[in-house]
Chains A and B, each alone.
Chain A
Amino acid sequence: MDTYKILEIKESVFENNDRQADLLRADLKKEKTFLLNLMSSPGSGKTTTVLRTIEALKDEMSIGVLEADIDSDVDANTVSKTGVKVIQLHTGGMCHLDADMTKQGLEGLGTEGVDFAILENVGNLVCPAEFDTGASKNAMILSVPEGDDKPLKYPLMFSIVDVLLINKMDSIGFFDFDLEVVKERVKKLNPNIKVIPITAKTGEGIDEWANWLRTEVKNWNEK
């Protein structure tokens, strides 16, 4: 007969992932690949922003893109037209990427010689915030039509990112979206956050974003 005994684990479920994420970050540092984890709700403009970012930086550095989607190749096809390396990751129903999946994705993409890898995470403001992917820096997009109350509803996401891009600024006249109120709300959650208003569709504001990335990529790959 089997004799069962109680084994204490006492481990936070996210600890395991956090450890793997730290290992991946250390590897990326050694390989001189800066990984950006880009998060937002569905349709906020991640892919459009990725395209603009590639356009702004591709002559200065080698870029690779990981497109995570529950099940489609639409974004990867769009991005591949720019000529940069891109890989599509299917999360198979999962609403976020963890460090393990990110690592596999990077292996599939091949990070050798890639200075800057962009991960377009699954469109979702809840789960991706809870799973460290191993990225060097985290950014999120909030688009104007989503409303200025989102920092109140999804505080964790706004607390963990280094940069908040406010996209679709061209539409601000149609919505009661108060940019100053958003800034105030996010700074309360995250005093060091950098907020950059952009219009990915036209490219407005992308300069400031590209400048930030330039500096971060340089710092990561040099030191």
Chain B
Amino acid sequence: MNPLENFRMAFESLWGNKLRSFLALLGIVIGVFAVTAMISLGQMATAGITQDLEAIAGRSIFVQPNFNEGQDFSTAPIREEDILALQTLPAAVIPQLFTSAQYEARPGTRRSIQLQGTPGDLPRLDPTNKLAKGRYFSEAEARGGLAVAVLSDRAARDLFPGREAVGQVARLFYPNGARLELTVVGVLQPPGGLFGGLGAAATVYVPNELIWNTSPTARKGQYDFVVLSLKKGADARQVTRQAQRIFESRYGKGKYQIASTESFQDTLRSITLILQALLGAIAGLSLLVGGIGIMNIMLVSVTERTREIGLRKALGATSSQIRQQFLIEAVVLTLVGGLLGVVLAAGLLLVITATVPFFKVFILNPATVLLALAVSALVGLFFGVWPAARAAALDPIEALRYE
């Protein structure tokens, strides 16, 4: 008797018991559905996070004084000579200043806003900054410390609600009351993706030189923060190590925090991995429960079909042919369940990609499908062994006598 014959026979017998077969394989359907959906969702999440991170931060390295050491900001600044040293690396070096300022939302009410010093022509240095309107102040304007500003999308809406910001004058105040009047030359695009909501800070970008000249706390030639925007083909890990070496040789270990966006991605990836492992465990549990369900239904089936088994033996079936028949029936049952589970998972993934903006691409690897089906077949094989052995061991006479 060939295996194909066995499969046909298994299908016939399962089809004859549609409702019960379906109920029996519900556990398998859920288990395989969970496995498939979780693996693919994990892959889709990783893809989404990676894309979003690259959109807002590109491939960058961030250098800033390490606050964990309990030091004062001003005791560990980044100096002009550090910037010169960093410029030997394959990256655009963008030294920046951070300070806070206030603006008059209504007469008498002042609100905080972030003031950020940058070099001129930032979008060219770091392409993740995209202009929505106007222009970015030039390198010459930046060097001259002119009172010009580019606003983040949020800052434009806060400072000039319902009005065109470009061309306006923004009035800001330092905490000590000193006034700053800035001509707005451009507005940036809001960041997209998952980080669109989180990263939508109200920020006013001005030349570093201007902050040095006007802020009561900033000191000329000292920066708070440096972004290294990696050139194409540069290796993030290697450049990170080189930057670390520059700062360690000058100031010792642990004074500066130097991390790349890729290390953030690594963190996100490991979180995703833990999540997947957890969900995989849940899926495994439901497969175990599903498998026991299959075993149960197969044992019931063997008992119910005692006479059939006896008859088949009387007609010349060997014990191993009977065993094969019931094993294949269990495998067909779980494979059908696995197939249903994969189809359900694919449906869910399609709905998610269509409705949740974060999940941009539908990912269902053939390897995942193959794994899901292999797992369901193995579950059938494993949990079918005992019922099949019981069927094979039946004494034909006892079986024929069985009422």
Judge: A and B partners, yes or no: no
Q: Which B residues contact A (CB, under 8 angstroms)?
A: none
Q: Which A residues contact B (CB, under 8 angstroms)?
A: none
